[in-house]
Amino acid sequence: MQVFAEKQVAQQLATCEFITSSSTIACYLSNDGEVSLSSFIADQWRCADTRVTRITLPVIHPINKGHLLMLAYTPSTQMTENKYGIVEPALACNSIELVKNHNVILMPLVGFDRQGNRLGMGGGYYDRTLSSVRNEKKRPKLVGIAHDCQEVNELPAQPWDVPLDAIVTPTRILHFKND
């Protein structure tokens, strides 16, 4: 079931213009039942000779509390475990990629609704990190990755919750209008 979801999502993403036209894409390593992006990342690495795509992963910001820092992720990246037991790239200053320089940010979630509201794990990490770019004209496309069963009727959105531009599930690609 997990592997099926992982492969399906990789296939769905490969059909998205916002992915095929991107040069820098933030991904995540799945935790606790989240849809894995490992197949997608492996596909991107494999295509790296024909199309230059930079993959990044979020790491807990070492200074700015509650924020994430995006670091380049390649097959040779040295990895470490953060305080939540999640594997992340070891901090290296020359690997930092600014959030605003991403074309797409793929995010895990706990729940989503048809308005593009996203419920995360409750740390506010993505909300804080994206708060600086959410109102920019040119900003990364924010895409939630989910199992179909993570859809709920309506999520109560707080002012700090950054809405999604799209959701990709193993069977669906949903686009939202948040401008």
Ligand X SMILES: Nc1ncnc2c1ncn2[C@@H]1O[C@H](COP(=O)(O)OP(=O)(O)OP(=O)(O)O)[C@@H](O)[C@H]1O
Site of interaction with Mg ion (CB under 5 A)? 127, 161
Q: How far is the CB of 43 from ligand X (least distance, A)?
A: 25
30/120 with CB nearer Mg ion: 120
CB-based contact 60:68 (threshold 8 Å): yes
Report if residue 86 touches ligand X, rule: CB under 6 A. no
Site for ligand X in 110-139 (CB under 6 A): 119-128, 131
CA-atom Rg of the chain in angstroms: 15
Nearer to ligand X, 31 or 74 (CB): 31
Q: How far is the CB of 135 from ligand X (least distance, A)?
A: 12
Residue 160 or 172 with smaller CB distance to ligand X: 160
> How many binding residues for ligand X (CB under 6 A)?
14
- Between 75 and 159, whose beta carbon lies closer to ligand X? 159
75: contact with ligand X by CB under 6 A: no
**Which residue's Cβ lies closest to ligand X?**
120
Residue 125 to residue 147: CA distance in whole angstroms: 21
**Helix (H), strand (E), coil (C) string for 9-77:** HHHHHHCCHHHHCCCEEECCCCCCCCCCCHHHHHHHHHHHHCCCCEEEEEEECCCCCCCEEEEECCCCC
- Cβ 45 vs Cβ 74: under 8 Å: yes
